[in-house]
Structure 1
Amino acid sequence: MTDKQSEPPKETRFQPGQSGNPRGRRAGSRSKALVALDALGEGEVQDIIKAMMDKAKEGDAQAARIILDRVWPPRKGTRFEFDLPEVSKAEDIPGAIGEVTAQVAEGIISPDEGAVIVGLLDARRKAIETEQLASRIAALEVRAAL
């Protein structure tokens, strides 16, 4: 049960666009702990990087991985090949999805890869439908202007 008397008056509530704490931390400012850590590491960064490079050159796989992950990040997702008929009309989408389903069933592509392809086909369908709707609206506007 809510008691209407316990609610603050509307004129004292925060107004749209007004901060709840106008004197709070500014956007983009960093905490004191992070600023202190930056100050500690600032003078040592070059030495740390050099030490890691030396360890990597000596064959330390962990050091090499850390350095390479920064320079050459691991790839997200892998490339794969699949057959797909050309999709230029919305009517082509069901056939293309059927082809993807058949390739998943035959083990040519994995179910996860099939799901990604079907998602792309759905995006293609939406793009085709949006293009068709835009042209139909344009034609109706031309007809209405006459």
Structure 2
Amino acid sequence: MSETAGTEKLRPGWKPGQSGNPNGRPKGSRNRVTLVALAAMEDGADAIAKRVVEMAKGGDISAARLVIERLVPVAKERPIFLSLPDIGSAEGIARAQAAILQAVAAGDILPGEAATLAGIVEACRKAMETQELEQRISALEGKK
């Protein structure tokens, strides 16, 4: 007897290689084990949080670090206040890049922040260059 004959009896309408749930698991649904663990944690969450805070107040550095990390998460980015010259010309772009470099050298901004700013200035330069090339091509085509 073939394998397909046995499965047809068990699940009518089901074909080998076809999913029993073609849409898959609903987005955001959780595993039963996860739900049980979350329910168990909810019951004691207040008591655990209070105990950790008490330990932190008592001088436990690990508990203090845990409390601080939850209260004040590490900032991924910060606002940068840096005055840049007008970047409407090639000279302005060069001055803006120099200002970014000087801000890093002075310690006003971090190197990663400078790289992001320099990338933005470079994108503006490329856009300006593309616009200029388009104008030149249009002028050349107009002469024909």
TM, length-normalised to structure 1: 0.56
C-alpha change, 1:26 and 1:111, in structure 2 (3 Å) is: closer
- Percent identity between matched residues is 31
CA distance in 2 between partners of 1:23 and 1:123 (Å): 42
How far 1:94 moved relative to its partner?
2.5
Correspondence for 2:64? 64
Matched, 1:95 2:121: no
How do 1:83-122 residues align onto structure 2 when only pairs under 5 Å count?
85-91=84-90, 92-101=92-101, 103=102, 107-109=105-107, 111-122=111-122
CA distance in 2 between partners of 1:78 and 1:27 (Å): 33
| Number of aligned residues | 110
CA distance in 2 between partners of 1:81 and 1:49 (Å): 38
Correspondence for 1:4? none
Q: Which has the larger radius of gyration?
A: 2
Deviations 1:15-40 (A, max 9, x none): xxxx9942531111001221111121
Deviations 1:64-90 (A, max 9, x none): 1111111111233577786x5422514
Q: Is the 8 A contact 2:85 2:95 kept in 1?
A: no
C-alpha change, 1:22 and 1:44, in structure 2 (3 Å) is: same
Structure 2: tracts of 5 or more residues without a match = 1-18, 136-144
Correspondence for 1:12? none
How do 1:1-146 residues align onto structure 2 when only pairs under 5 Å count?
21-22=21-22, 24-76=24-76, 85-91=84-90, 92-101=92-101, 103=102, 107-109=105-107, 111-125=111-125, 129=128
Q: Please give the root-mean-square deviation of Cα atoms over the aligned residues, in Å.
A: 3.6
C-alpha change, 1:81 and 1:25, in structure 2 (3 Å) is: closer
How far 1:116 moved relative to its partner?
2.8
Structure 1: tracts of 5 or more residues without a match = 1-18, 137-146
Correspondence for 1:5? none
Q: Is the 8 A contact 2:52 2:63 kept in 1?
A: yes
Deviations 1:92-126 (A, max 9, x none): 2133224444x38x943565453233123235557
CA distance in 1 between partners of 2:37 and 2:96 (Å): 55
C-alpha change, 1:59 and 1:123, in structure 2 (3 Å) is: farther
Compare relative contact order (CA 8 Å, sep 6+) and give the higher one, 1 or 2.
1
SS of match in other structure, 1:94:
helix
